[in-house]
Amino acid sequence: MAQGNPSTPKRPKGLKPLNPAVKGMIDAAFQMHKQGNLAQAEILYHKVLQMEPGNPFSLYGVGAIAVVRGEMEKAVPLLKKSMANGYHHEASYTHLGIALQTLGRMDEALAVYRMGKKLDPKNPRYACNTSVLLAQQGDPTAALEEAMKAIKLAPTFVPAYVNAGTFLQSLERYEEAAVMFEKILQLDPNHDTARQSFEAMRRVIVAKNLR
């Protein structure tokens, strides 16, 4: 299964203006974060928090980095505080949902994804991640429905096809699963997992027809 990873964090509208020194540090931290230089980004986020302990951007940044490192217990309160202080970017909800989901706090994670969906109903990540959550709860049929919603919202969103194919496979709907994996290869010819899954589905289908 595939999570819908967060998009690049941005400064939302409606928050009070930042003083120039803090804004420059946050802009630089976000840029480093985007480039994958997490250690340097984290240093800048912490410098901002020393100046402004409740700064929502830096709270988000430290929390998001904690998610990447697998430090979910650390991430959850940071992300919640960031959101309470006004940072409601898609990445906030996605990171918080993933952290809660990883900790097994499924009801909380589902509530977070639903809140995010209300704010950004056209974003496929929420349906995609909800599909993973439902599959983890043992409901592949409901999980498939969510994955298909994500595909409808974003027909080129590969993680949704990965999930749909996986759920169809678990439901023994092999021909439909093969179609999903083939679609992934059309979108991303170098997707090795999809290629292996597609070939596996073809073997299953051939074996079924030979019975």
**Cα dihedral: 183, 189, 194, 200 (round 10):** 90
Structure tokens belonging to residue 129: 């991640």
Give the pLDDT confidence of 137-163 residue by residue, as tens digits: 999 999 999 999 999 999 999 999 999
Topology match between the domains 1-121 and 133-211: yes
How high is the pLDDT of residue 5? 52
Cα Rg of the chain, angstroms: 19
pLDDT at position 3:
58
Contact 29, 45 (CB under 8 A): yes
- CA 85 remoteness from chain centre: 22
**Residue 193: CB partners within 8 Å, gap ≥ 6?**
162
Q: Closest Cα partner for 166 from 190, 189, 193?
A: 193
The amino acid present at 60, given as its one-letter code, is Y
Whether residue 12 contacts residue 21, with contact meaning beta carbons closer than 8 Å, is answered with no
Provide the percentage of residues in the chain whose pLDDT is more than 70. 91
State the CATH architecture for 133-211: Alpha Horseshoe (1.25)
Write down the domain spans for the chain. Answer: 1-121, 133-211
Amino acid at 70: G
Residue pLDDT, tens place only, 70-90: 999 999 999 999 999 988 888
Q: DSSP state, 157?
A: -
Residue with tokens 């043992």: 138
Q: 1-121: what CATH class?
A: mainly alpha
pLDDT above 60 for 186: yes
pLDDT tens, 13-61? 444 556 788 888 988 998 999 899 999 999 999 999 999 999 999 999 9
d(CA 130, CA 125): 8
